[in-house]
Amino acid sequence: MENSRRDFVKKTVLGTSALTIGGILPGFSAKSYARIIGANSKIIVSMMGVNSRGKALARNFANQKNCEIAHICDVDSRAIAACTEAIKERQSKVPKGFGDFRKSLESKDIDAMVIAAPDHWHAPASLLAMQAGKHVYVEKPCSHNPAEGEMLVEAAEKYNKVIQMGNQRRSWPNVIKAIQEMKL
Ligand SMILES: NC(=O)c1ccc[n+]([C@@H]2O[C@H](COP(=O)([O-])OP(=O)(O)OC[C@H]3O[C@@H](n4cnc5c(N)ncnc54)[C@H](O)[C@@H]3O)[C@@H](O)[C@H]2O)c1
């Protein structure tokens, strides 16, 4: 019984990963797709809101071999400076700072925006990013209400973009297992 439950969790996680990869690729433009495939390929990222969580995410994204942080956006220039410092050892290119994230979205070079500004910005910034042709990683909560969440799903379909909300705990195998144990 224990083994079959473990197998199920393993297979589910593998299946989810495959679906995620399958979901990402069709949404990328030819230009960004070309960056993914190949030895020197990079996904070019803009970070929005980089104080606490955003700075931690910036470090994680900068650690990925296929990822480069090109823009760092925050209304607080001190946060931009601290985040730039935090990723200095992880990537050679120094990112450009923006006080207004909409200026970053105007750039054709950006593939994806990572949003870790306060909650009330999550849905509006995600919508603007997808409208501007960027994929989105947005911190939880993705919206203030179900209607905003539905708008994000519609926008992802309309603009053919991938949006991922950062509720990563739901994907941790030990948390999945704990929830299953509680439901028994
Ligand atoms: N998934 C997780 O594990 C996890 C963990 C912590 C926080 N979070 C989420 O991350 C978000 C940020 O949390 P935090 O603790 O880092 O908050 P924080 O207040 O420390 O940082 C928010 C940053 O956003 C900036 N900001 C505000 N308005 C902006 C705008 N219009 N454009 C650009 N930058 C703007 C602020 O100046 C600040 O630097 C919250 O929504 C929180 O729920 C998620």
Question: Does the residue 1 lie in any domain?
Answer: no
pLDDT at 9: 39
CA 92 – ligand 1 centroid, Å: 25
| Whole-angstrom distance, CA of residue 182 vs CA of residue 62 | 37
Domain count, the chain: 1
Q: Residue 73 in 3-state DSSP?
A: strand
pLDDT, position 32: 52
In angstroms, the CA 134 to CA 106 distance is: 10
71 within some domain: yes
Residue 166 within a domain: yes
Question: Is 183 within the bounds of a domain?
Answer: no
pLDDT computed for residue 40 by the predictor:
55
> In the structure encoding, which two tokens stand for residue 118, read together?
């306060």
Q: In this predicted model, what pLDDT tens digit does every residue of 131-171 receive, in sequence order? A: 999 999 999 999 989 999 999 999 999 999 999 999 888 88
Is 0.85 topped by the overall pTM?
Answer: no
User: Please, are residues 123 and 143 in contact by the beta-carbon 8 Å criterion?
Assistant: yes
Query: What's the domain range around 140?
Result: 28-170
Atom 40 in ligand 1: residue holding the nearest Cα: 118
Residues in the chain with pLDDT < 70?
1-40
Q: Give a yes or no: residue 7 inside a domain.
A: no
CATH of the domain at 56: 3.40.50.720
Tell me, yes or no, whether 118 lies in a domain. Answer: yes
Of all atoms in ligand 1, which is nearest to the CA of residue 100?
32
User: d(Cα 110, Cα 5) in Å, to the nearest integer?
Assistant: 42
**CA distance linking residue 28 with residue 126, whole number of Å:** 16
* Residue 10, domain member (yes or no): no
Cβ of 118 less than 6 Å from ligand 1: yes
Cα angle, residue 130 at apex, residues 60 and 143 outer, rounded to 5°: 75
Is 115 a domain residue?
yes
Locate the ligand 1 atom nearest the alpha carbon of residue 117 and give its number.
24
Q: Which two tokens stand for residue 60?
A: 């994680």
Tokens 């969790």 correspond to what residue? 9
